[in-house]
Amino acid sequence: MKKLMKLGVLVLALGLLAVAFAGCGADDEAEEGRVVVSSKTFPEALTQGWMTYYLLEDRGYDVVNEIGLGEVAVIRPALEGGEIDLYWEYTGTGLMNVMGYEGDELPAGEEETFQEIHDYDLENHDIKWLDHAPANNTFVIFVTEETQEEYGWETISDLAEYAQDHDGEYGSIAAPAEWVERDDGMVPFQEHYGFEFDDVVEVELGLAYSAVKGDDALIGVGDATEGRIVDYELIILDDDEGFFPAYNAAPNIRKEVLEANPEIKELMQELSSRLDLETQKELNLRTAVDEEDPQDVAWDFLVEEGLIEE
């Protein structure tokens, strides 16, 4: 009986201790004035991360730096698990990779895509999508001016028709490995447009542009906000059948952190509203072509926009 009583006391004590630790954890998870800021690893995401870091720091927040943590498979679980509090994600990535959207048709536009993932994440994960940037960084298919003139391609349907007429034997496409494997990547793209690429050259993220410019590939796939598209004078083929979803970047923040720091919503809106397509291309041009540090690019932009003082 004494052993049972001792065991009961021990279980009770451990239970109380667990509750105590749980209470401490809850306080630490959403601390007023403290935000753990993170980002993905590519230049545009790093720039967004540093913009957020400097802006919050300027407003007096205790900002913990986890910038460059990893891609969606790493950073998203970190947000859901409370290891980080805020990072920028793309609406299309949220829709396809997080939500696992399986509708017959994609949401009709940028706002519909945003609302779909916004409502899903808030209901299922207590994650709040703040106002998105105007820039739509969707995937694009591009060629050189010379290729467009030779083949007469204006749209992806033009490319598909040519490929079908030539049994797929027409040239290679340079594509990052991520796109080849994505749920909204190469395989469903080919199924949608009804053709297969003749030869797929998998390249590191960001190298498809130079591969097409240097005639190492006829076609490339990349991002709409990429500065090298402008610098290399590449031509984007119109996604005339609307295969690619919208990819507007938006700050993702844990609900409890936002509730503890509600002014962050308006503060981040001041930043995101300034990131239109041309602005984002210019910023990406500085990091990708001029090889400037995203940290410096972020700082300069905030100062130029009057969001912080130098």
Question: Domains along the chain?
Answer: 22-136+247-304 (3.40.190.10), 139-237 (3.40.190.120)
Q: What percent of the chain has pLDDT over 90?
A: 77
Query: With 50 as the cut, is the pLDDT of residue 77 above it?
Result: yes
Highest mean pLDDT of the ranges 143-147, 227-231, 241-245: 143-147
Query: With 80 as the cut, is the pLDDT of residue 30 above it?
Result: no
Range of lowest pLDDT (21-30, 81-90, 99-108, 217-226): 21-30
pLDDT of res. 103: 79
pLDDT of res. 24: 40
Query: With 70 as the cut, is the pLDDT of residue 53 above it?
Result: yes
Average pLDDT over residues 92-99: 92
Query: With 60 as the cut, is the pLDDT of residue 208 above it?
Result: yes
Average pLDDT over residues 89-113: 90
Mean pLDDT of the chain: 89
- Give the confidence band of 18 by pLDDT, cuts at 50, 70, 90: very low
pLDDT of res. 187: 93
Q: pTM of the prediction?
A: 0.82
Query: With 50 as the cut, is the pLDDT of residue 8 above it?
Result: no
Query: With 90 as the cut, is the pLDDT of residue 22 above it?
Result: no
SS (H, E, C) the chain: CHHHHHHHHHHHHHHHHHHHHHHHHHHHHCCCCEEEEECCCCHHHHHHHHHHHHHHHHCCCEEEEECCCCCHHHHHHHHHCCCCCEEEEEHHHHHHHHCCCCCCCCCCCHHHHHHHHHHHHHHHHCEEECCCCCCECCEEEEECHHHHHHHCCCEHHHHHHHHHHCCCCCCEEEEEHHHHHCCCCHHHHHHHHCCCCCEEEEECCCCHHHHHHCCCCCEEEEECCCHHHHHCCCEEEECCCCCCCCCEEEEEEEHHHHHHCCCHHHHHHHHHCCCCHHHHHHHHHHHHCCCCCHHHHHHHHHHHCCCCCC
Query: With 50 as the cut, is the pLDDT of residue 10 above it?
Result: no
Query: With 70 as the cut, is the pLDDT of residue 252 above it?
Result: yes
pLDDT of res. 29: 59
